[in-house]
Amino acid sequence: MPESDISDLALIRDAAAEAGRIALKFFGMEPQVWMKAGVSPVSEADYAADTYLRERLLAARPGYGWLSEETADSPERLKARRTFVVDPIDGTRGFLSGGDEWCVSVAVVENGRPVVGVLDCPAKNEIYWAEEGKGAFLNGKTISVRHPAETLDIAGLKATIKTLPVDIRARVQEFRHVPSLAYRLAMVARGAIDATFVKANSHDWDLAAADLILREAGGAVIDPWGEPLALAGADPRHGALAAGSGELLEEMRKVLSHGNA
């Protein structure tokens, strides 16, 4: 069947899986690394996966826009009805250090909202996906956010966690650092942790697929005013965010609204 005839979800699932296999060829090796703006690493593995995804996905959907961490942005994408939002390796630092919490992140965004999203995490043999209105899945099984318990696992900046109300803070077990933001959000979606703060200056490509997966699992990523993400606009950057569910998420939002991030 021509790829023009298959669904967007089937297309990006298959493409993300192949991009993951490409990245794995470099995993545990010593790929060439450059520093973007002097602070953020990018490797030949990132570029190889990005090139594959761009060529395959745009060949299948030539009318879609393209927004990727590793591709120079173009305002032409703003004319498209739908846009691929891609991070070929989310968690590059962890990838380069030999950690397994990294993933290929691919989403399709329409009117500012992701409508399908995939996180392929080949070093952990985990594949997350979601389609708007149809639930979230990990390796084919439905996932959902964690029910409140006596103790709370919250990831993110420790200084921000310490500004939560005293009664909540007393229940918190600060969670270890997870280098991939997308994977951290997937952990919230599958109930491995309760929530996470997201420091300012995350980008659409870090968030798009995981945002949909978390939303379909019963949670949300919100800004200090409680608004959901608006994606694939002119500026891909975001301010401080909170991700989780229920009353805890509202308390986290209040912390952000007071500038404690």
**Quick check: 116 and 219 in contact, CB under 8 A?**
no
Adjacent-strand bridge partners of 60: none
Per-residue exposure over 163-184, b if at least 16 CB sit within 10 Å of its own CB, e if not: bbeeebeebbeebeebbbbbbb
Tokens standing for residue 195: 């929530």
**Quick check: 131 and 115 in contact, CB under 8 A?**
yes
167 is in an annotated binding site: no
Report the C-alpha gap between 146 and 154 in whole angstroms: 12
100 is in an annotated binding site: no
User: Could you tell me which of 90, 85, 147, 137 has the C-alpha nearest to residue 115?
Assistant: 85
87 is in an annotated binding site: yes
Tokens standing for residue 5: 């005839």
Tokens standing for residue 153: 């696992």
89 is in an annotated binding site: yes
Report the C-alpha gap between 15 and 103 in whole angstroms: 13
* Residue set of the binding site for Mg(2+): 69, 87, 89-90, 206
* Residue set of the binding site: 69, 87, 89-90, 206
